[in-house]
Amino acid sequence: MTSDTIKQVHAREVLDSRGHPTVEVEVYCQGGAAGRAIVPSGASTGFHEACELRDGNPGRYAGKGVRTAVHHVLTVLGPAVAGMAASAQREIDRTLCDLDGFANKSRLGANAILGVSLACAHAAAAARNQPLWQYLAELTLLSPLGRGAGGEGAAPSHAAPRRQPTLPLPMVNLISGGKHAGQNLQFQDFLLLPIAARSFSEALHTAVHVYRALGAVLGEHGFEGVLVGDEGGFVPRLESNEQAIDMILKAFARAGLAPGRDAAIALDVASTHFYRQGRYEIHRAFSADDFAVLLESWTTRYPIQSIEDGMAEDDWAGWKKLTHKLGKRIQLIGDDLFVTNPERLKRGIAEGVANSILIKPNQIGTLTETLDVLALARAAGYRPIISARSGETEDATIADLAVATAAGQIKIGSVARSERLAKYNQLLRIEEQMGANSPFAQWQPVQ
């Protein structure tokens, strides 16, 4: 028995940033160390994501309670990992998955499983008196990234080279639409890429500067420049998706930034949500070919460097068309397409679809599975972007994860709402811990 041997696992129901219940897990070790993790929740969820277990009782939190998931932690998952070393992350995660027995974790719930998985990592870091990012960086070396389901004894088929922990470039929400903002626009997010930044703190300052400039620009044009959506982006009642881009370009000018040189735009199209019977329905119905042409034309007219979910989650043919047009020019991110799932990603790699992947731990359900998908992506030349969810909490694990894995980019939300700032502030702390000349992932154009 060692100081990081798990003594007890506790769980409770808490609330996320939308006021919906979610799972919080605490892990206590024999030596006195403890770790806590809170599981986020998405609104714009992909069909192929791991199962988020809800109680379904309409008389309590409109059916969104998670007492069943909490019960599973207390009676099944917690007792199973008690006595294990909190640092035995891969063994713990394999145990959790085996207890569920389903690939999508539908029996015990991915929210229950992920809570235990992440809390164990926090406890292990505390037992070693290390910041979480340092512990996770070591964990990725002790348990090589990219190993398959065979576990520690399996040959690493796509092990990633060692990378120095690095602060990520933030992708910052400016204007929200879709399911994050009452469908006021079809596209879900219009975001800033501070591509000229040479440090994380500089990138964050640029984001705040642009955000405030955008609020003023919206007000001057008669739009709401104060109210925000689930992820902190403004939610003005604009007439079109293109008008959102126009407002952002005006904000760039007000902030004294040159479009394409100092700042660029990223789009989260979330096209699955307006895909109907093979057509993309925005101001008119587009075929996949026509929609790809539309997006291509926008990248010519505007300083767009990244497009997420430009085609629907199961429109593989459409994704091939879009990748053929833009895959060598800009970042094409699969979120609903890949859902941090190795099998979905392997198909994308084989078919030459997209060139980047959003990494969301709650889409797959454990820390090691998340790390393995990230490594698989990196080995295939796909860019990983660590991402928050629209239903977030004060838990800042993804900030440490982005640094530890040197993912290069992070998508947290806007520079408003404390569940977003918790992650940005954690990255500022890590930047300070790293000291002068802390490694920072400067923007690299797609080639």
- The per-residue pLDDT for range 172-221, each reduced to its tens digit, is 999 998 765 556 788 999 999 999 999 999 999 999 999 999 999 999 99
- The per-residue pLDDT for range 127-149, each reduced to its tens digit, is 999 999 999 999 876 544 434 33
Please state the domain extents for the chain.
Answer: 6-129, 169-434
Listed residue (357, 365, 410, 351) closest to 382, CA to CA: 357
Average confidence score pLDDT of the chain: 93
Beta strands 279-281 and 409-413 are unpaired
- The per-residue pLDDT for range 48-99, each reduced to its tens digit, is 899 999 999 999 999 999 999 999 999 999 999 999 999 999 999 999 999 9
- The per-residue pLDDT for range 99-116, each reduced to its tens digit, is 999 999 999 999 999 999
Topology (CATH) of 6-129: Enolase-like; domain 1 (3.30.390)
Q: Using 50, 70 and 90 to split pLDDT, how confident is the model at 153? A: very low
Which pLDDT value is given to residue 46?
Answer: 65
Q: Contact 265/304 with Cβ under 8 angstroms?
A: yes
Catalytic residue among 64, 320, 325, 360: 360
Alpha carbon distance 46, 52 (integer Å): 12
Average pLDDT over residues 399-414: 98
For the chain, counts of helices (H) and of strands (E): 14, 14
Q: Please, what's the b/e burial string for 374-405 (b: 16 or more CB within 10 A of its CB; e: otherwise)?
A: bbbbbbeebbbbbbbbbbbbebbbbbbbbbbb
The tokens for 357 are 């992947």
Which pLDDT value is given to residue 161?
Answer: 56
> Catalytic annotation on 369?
no
* Reported CATH class of domain 169-434: alpha beta
Phi, psi of 147 (to 5 degrees): -75, 145
pLDDT at 263 over 60: yes
The tokens for 147 are 């190993």
- Topology agreement, domain 6-129 and domain 169-434: no
How crowded is residue 141: how many other Cβ atoms within 10 Å of its Cβ? 10
Which pLDDT value is given to residue 162?
Answer: 64
Beta strands 383-387 and 409-413 are parallel
- The per-residue pLDDT for range 219-236, each reduced to its tens digit, is 999 998 889 999 999 999
3-state secondary structure of 349: helix
Which pLDDT value is given to residue 224?
Answer: 87
Catalytic residue among 231, 308, 369, 431: 231
> Catalytic annotation on 250?
no
Sign of torsion over alpha carbons 78, 82, 86, 91: negative
Listed residue (98, 127, 135) closest to 5, CA to CA: 127
